[in-house]
Amino acid sequence: MQPLRSLSLWMDQLDEPLCARPALRESLEADVCIIGAGYTGLWTAYYLKRQAPQLNIVVIEANIAGFGASGRNGGWLMGNLLGEDRLLASLSPQQRRASIDLLHAIPDEVGNVLQREGIDCDYRKGGVLYCAARYPEQERSLRAYLDDLYRQGMTEDDYRWLRPEQLDAQVRISNAYGAIYSPHTATIQPAKLARGLARAVEALGVPIYENTPALDWRSGEVSTPLARIRCQWIVPAVEGYAASLPPLGKHQLPVQSLLVATEPLPDTTWDEIGLDRGQAFSEGSRQVTYGQRTTDNRLVFGARGGYRFGGRLRDNFNLQAHEVELRRYLFSDLFPQLRHARITHTWGGNLGMARRFRPHMLCDRQRGIALAGGYGGEGVGATNLGGRTLAALILNQHNALTGQPWVHDNRPLASLASWPPEPCRWLGYNAIIQSFVHEDRTLANPATPPWRRRLASHLADFMEGFMH
């Protein structure tokens, strides 16, 4: 197995020994068994135990807390949910605004817990910049997106356009056309959050058994290699690893995302670039890019994903030279002064995509299952909402959390939308991604004639339509 410190820059930076907590060796009974010690599992344990200290809750984890996406992500802690526009479409304007406020409040809620629990994870609420940076069509599509946000009830306080000279005050990107800025995002050091949360949960009296994979699960019982847990509630919180707990794999597509980190860069370089308040930034391509300047002055930059036939997980994230160079090419396009910057860390992870890209929080009361997931690469903040919501559902509360359109209370697990079987998944995923790659290449070349530019964008629009 890959050494734990090499899982990500973030794991490497931890100044704690990375040794596993004891595994579960004896069968036990519990009220709630949480499978997976990433953010979803840990937030659920945290909110549940704080509200109902009498509950007997256990967490089991196949590796160590933070082993999954939670210890490897790009550190964008966003106050939103993937595809929230479609999820909120059927609500009245007032209801929609209330839901939007709930989402926007996520980074502050996390910030409050960090303070309360004394978790230091380099939290900085510097907002996010979605930059139109590489070709003029990015400005058009970002402006159209902004109009759409305003139609949904967002205001200039939530999202606003920055002209190039205004953007310069935050980040200096070569040839930028402008950007959307939103204050509702913070950046963090992801592994510090996962490991700190695990300690906070333990301090509340919730044991975490590491190196304890769930091998099998059915209503009221979870089997691990050495012991069984009999319980009233099971919370499978395995996101990108859903295939390890059938039938969850039907509902969750594992997708890989890859990142690189530079060495700490000198102040003079950052004086040229900016990003001095912990802002998250991305570039407006349909292929995801995400970055942040770390508190020790590195650039962390992630881009693009991958899906393996049959939903096979990738477990070796020692990136190949071409994977590293693609990311270098993309960040150098934004920041030419970093073309030769030394890359010290490269890594990646598996995340979960729900069908139609709609995250869900579900409570199957008959079978005693509560789960949240399908965050699709936007789960750092959403898992906090997921944890709070699952706690409320398990405690049978009916409140603002449980009344949201992404919450399916008292519904069987089987009601979640499934992905089509192979080879449809693989073909569909790759057809869509290839249309995005083609669009990106065509538009990034200034010599491409206008008719070909339009054609490439229409094709990508058309293919994107299949995602929803």
Ligand X SMILES: Cc1cc2nc3c(=O)[nH]c(=O)nc-3n(C[C@H](O)[C@H](O)[C@H](O)COP(=O)(O)OP(=O)(O)OC[C@H]3O[C@@H](n4cnc5c(N)ncnc54)[C@H](O)[C@@H]3O)c2cc1C
Q: Least distance (Å) from ligand X to the CB of residue 319?
A: 11
Alpha helices in 3-92 (DSSP H): 9-13, 39-51, 84-88
| Residues in contact with 196: Cβ distance below 8 Å, sequence separation at least 6, in sequence order | 114, 117, 119, 120, 121
Nearer to ligand X, 302 or 311 (CB): 302
Start-to-end C-alpha separation, the chain: 37
Tokens standing for 381? Answer: 């903040």
Q: Where are the beta strands (DSSP E) in 250-368?
A: 252-262, 280-283, 289-293, 299-306, 343-354, 360-364
Nearer to ligand X, 178 or 374 (CB): 374
| Near ligand X by CB under 6 A: residue from 35, 129, 133, 186 | 35
Tokens standing for 307? Answer: 């899906």
Q: Least distance (Å) from ligand X to the CB of residue 244?
A: 4
Per-residue x/- mask for ligand X, residues 172 to 211, rule CB under 6 A? ----------------------------------------
Q: Say how far apart CA 235 and CA 32 lie, in whole Å.
A: 7
Which residues inside 227-256 make contact with ligand X, applying CB under 6 A? 237-241, 244-245
Q: Say how far apart CA 322 and CA 383 lie, in whole Å.
A: 32
| Residues in contact with 157: Cβ distance below 8 Å, sequence separation at least 6, in sequence order | 183
Task: State which residue has the least CB distance to ligand X.
Answer: 379
Nearer to ligand X, 240 or 274 (CB): 240
Q: Least distance (Å) from ligand X to the CB of residue 361?
A: 12
Which residues inside 60-99 make contact with ligand X, applying CB under 6 A? 60-63, 67-70, 72-76, 78
- Bridge partners for 409 per DSSP: 363
| Near ligand X by CB under 6 A: residue from 259, 273, 275, 362 | 259
* Binding residue count for ligand X, defined by CB under 6 A: 46
Q: Say how far apart CA 76 and CA 93 lie, in whole Å.
A: 28
| Near ligand X by CB under 6 A: residue from 214, 341, 369, 394 | 214
| Contact call for residues 325 and 274 (beta carbons, < 8 A) | no
Nearer to ligand X, 72 or 184 (CB): 72
**Any idea what DSSP says for residue 311?**
G
Which residues inside 312-371 make contact with ligand X, applying CB under 6 A? 348-351
Candidate ranges 38-46, 112-120, 198-206, 323-331; the one touching ligand X (CB under 6 A): 38-46
Taking alpha carbons only, the member of 188, 436, 167, 406 closest to residue 275 is 167
Alpha helices in 37-135 (DSSP H): 39-51, 84-88, 93-104, 106-117
Handedness of CA 380, 385, 387, 388 (dihedral sign): positive
Nearer to ligand X, 212 or 457 (CB): 212
Q: Least distance (Å) from ligand X to the CB of residue 288?
A: 9
**Any idea what DSSP says for residue 314?**
P
Q: Say how far apart CA 440 and CA 17 lie, in whole Å.
A: 43
Q: Is 351 left (phi over 0), alpha (psi -120 to 50) or beta?
A: beta
Candidate ranges 39-47, 144-152, 338-346, 429-437; the one touching ligand X (CB under 6 A): 39-47
Nearer to ligand X, 70 or 99 (CB): 70
Q: Least distance (Å) from ligand X to the CB of residue 260?
A: 11
Nearer to ligand X, 281 or 335 (CB): 281
Q: Say how far apart CA 76 and CA 18 lie, in whole Å.
A: 24
Nearer to ligand X, 350 or 457 (CB): 350
Give the phi and the psi of residue 203 in degrees, each rounded to 5.
-65, -25
Q: Least distance (Å) from ligand X to the CB of residue 261?
A: 12
Q: Least distance (Å) from ligand X to the CB of residue 93?
A: 27
Per-residue x/- mask for ligand X, residues 375 to 404, rule CB under 6 A? x-xxxxx-x---------------------
Q: Least distance (Å) from ligand X to the CB of residue 423?
A: 24
Nearer to ligand X, 204 or 459 (CB): 204
Q: Least distance (Å) from ligand X to the CB of residue 267?
A: 25
Q: Say how far apart CA 79 and CA 41 lie, in whole Å.
A: 19
Q: Say how far apart CA 407 and CA 362 lie, in whole Å.
A: 6
Q: Least distance (Å) from ligand X to the CB of residue 252?
A: 10
Candidate ranges 34-42, 246-254, 401-409, 443-451; the one touching ligand X (CB under 6 A): 34-42
Nearer to ligand X, 9 or 273 (CB): 9
Nearer to ligand X, 21 or 72 (CB): 72
Applying CB under 6 A, which residues contact ligand X?
Answer: 35-41, 60-63, 67-70, 72-76, 78, 213-214, 237-241, 244-245, 257, 259, 290, 302, 348-351, 373, 375, 377-381, 383
